[in-house]
Structure 1
Amino acid sequence: MPFYVPRNGSIALSEDHMKVLLKRYDKDGDGRLSKKELQAAFRNSGLHFSGFRARRALHHADSNHDGFIGNDEMKELVIYAARWGFTVK
């Protein structure tokens, strides 16, 4: 199920739904999201400047500075991404 930036007729996602959708982009199955995986998630959501947004999301949510968003950091990523108003149709 793709997710989108708000448009007419869209429904706001809960934090739990956003976590599930973002975790789908963990292509290597290591339980973490890399910058490349975040960029794909943002690009597929229809956001412009997906590379920039992925860097900013990592900067904001990567508390241990390992270059990945792990399960323990996912809540901060979701809070940060929610500012952009992710929605699903």
Structure 2
Amino acid sequence: MNCFNCSKKSKCTRKCFPVPLTKPQQKRILESFDRNGDGRLSKQELKSALYYMGSHFPSWRAAQALNRGEMDDLVEYVWQCGYTVS
């Protein structure tokens, strides 16, 4: 795993740990996947966003998340999943 902001990238000798995404970061990522700009995420857009954030089961997570309505509820759900920056 590469360190966050590490200059050595592939030859880093430090122990690196994933850095949790903040809620604002997660919200920006989710919003960036709204490809048609309608302010709503389709199941495919959400699945792509969850895959991007490292979900092992993006289709299942997307189905669960779509049961939440508003973006704040969705961000809270994604926050509970514990995605990180690697």
The TM-score, its normalising length taken from structure 2, stands at: 0.73
Q: Taking every aligned residue pair, what percent have the same amino acid on both sides? A: 41
Larger RCO of the pair (alpha carbons < 8 Å, separation 6+) = 1
Computed over aligned residues only, the root mean square deviation of the Cα atoms, in angstroms, reads: 1.3
- 5 Å matches for 1:32-47? 32-47=40-55
User: What SS does the corresponding residue of 2:34 show, helix, strand or coil?
Assistant: coil
Aligned residue-pair number = 71
Read off the aligned partner of 1:87 and give its amino acid letter.
T
1:18-40 superposed Cα distances (whole Å, 9 cap, x missing partner): 10111110011111111110011
Partner Cα separation in structure 2 for residue 74 and residue 14 of structure 1: 15
Amino acid at match of 2:22: S
Q: CA offsets, 1:6-63, max 9 Å, x none? A: xx5221122111101111100111111111100111122221221111000011x12x
**Counterpart-to-counterpart distance in 1, 2:85 and 2:51:** 15
User: Who is 1:78 aligned against?
Assistant: 75
- Residue 15 of structure 1 pairs with residue 23 of structure 2: yes
The gaps in structure 1 that reach 5 residues or longer are 1-7, 63-72
Aligned partner letter, 2:74? L
Rounded Cα–Cα distance in structure 1 between residues aligned with 2:19 and 2:36: 30
Rg larger in structure: 2
Secondary structure of 2:30 counterpart:
helix
In the alignment, structure 1 residue 49 sits paired with structure 2 residue 46: no
